[in-house]
Amino acid sequence: MWYHLMRQLLFTLPEEMAHALVLHGLDLGAALRLPFLSQKVSPDPVRVMGLDFPHRVGLAAGLDKNADHLPALARLGFAFIEVGTVTPRPQPGNPRPRLFRVPQARALINRMGFNNLGLDHLLRQVEASRYTGILGINIGKNADTPVHEALRDYRIGLERSYPLAGYIVLNISSPNTQGLRSLQAVDALRALLEPLKELQDKLATRHGRYVPLVVKVAPDLGDEEIVDMAECLCQCRIDGLTATNTTITRPGLEGVEAAQEKGGLSGLPLQPLALAQIRLWKKVLAGRIPLIGVGGIMSAEDAADRVAAGADLIQLYTGLIYEGPQLIRYTGEAIAARRSQA
């Protein structure tokens, strides 16, 4: 209830201002140890990618791009937190405005463009946070790095992030960095993944621990593309798949003025597409690669449906904006209840 009242005020503010205000408010609440900004989620342990998660609900990348707020976010009850997307060098992202609410559809549109303070800053923040949970670090390429040289940036991200990450995600599916999604084409994908897997093996030996490598894909792929990509991912020994990123389509938003903004759409309109994509990925992968489901999870029922469709873990983002932190607990409880009935 308290969050719904606060949301009315937040939604009167510009989107990025409201985002920053909430995060700084969480930081203050953590420092003061305010009890209403802390919650526990009922245990529902699961082992995925060789990692032991206390339950299945995590935070998607994008909310804490620079790992500036890990202590506060950890108090909300997530089983794991993913930070980033981070690029080797700092970059401002796309010009503002670049984040738009579509409240009548419970959606967001963003064209942020990997705005972040760079890998050095993120790693310093992770070390300073002393976060002990499972941390995903989502890495991308700088906007001024040509797509044909993207491997260089991903190699830097993988090597530098490896010592501090629980798992590492290759973001090749954001619609807001020009040409990035072309890396999902099978030939380009293989050329990226094979050397990164070689580097991962070397890093595992060097550091004495294996950090899983995950690929995050778009929801706008065709069935044949998914079939081809699935074989490539398996042949390249990828450890996990996150489905999906935001969509460039506008399902059900015809005539809605805000929906005409360029960028990736998240929230409720993405829900049917992301659910269908998980089902298809589950079918073609046939259990060979674990799945992290994200996109349009706005309720406890949405989360349980995503796990029933094949997701081993789920992540929240836009649902948190509209429903607040209690969604973490509700989704965890719903997933556990649905699984106990199966």
Mean pLDDT by 10 residues, the chain (342 residues): 85 97 95 88 96 98 98 97 98 97 96 98 97 98 97 98 98 96 96 98 98 98 97 98 97 89 97 98 97 98 98 98 96 93 74
80, β-bridge pairs: 58, 134
Confidence (pLDDT) at 1: 60
Starting at the earlier edge strand, list the strands of the sheet with 99-102: 99-102, 107-110, 264-267
> What is the distance between the alpha carbons of residues 330 and 242, in angstroms, rounded to a whole number?
22
Confidence (pLDDT) at 37: 83
- Give the C-alpha distances (Å, rounded to integers) separating 309 from 104, 240, 257: 27, 16, 33
Residue range 2-341, CATH number = 3.20.20.70
Domain extents in the chain: 2-341
46-52-58 Cα angle (round to 5): 75
- Greatest CA span in the chain, whole angstroms? 55
Q: Is the pTM of this model over 0.75?
A: yes
- The catalytic position among 173, 174, 266, 299 is 174
- 299 given a catalytic annotation: no
Owner of token pair 């259990």: 287
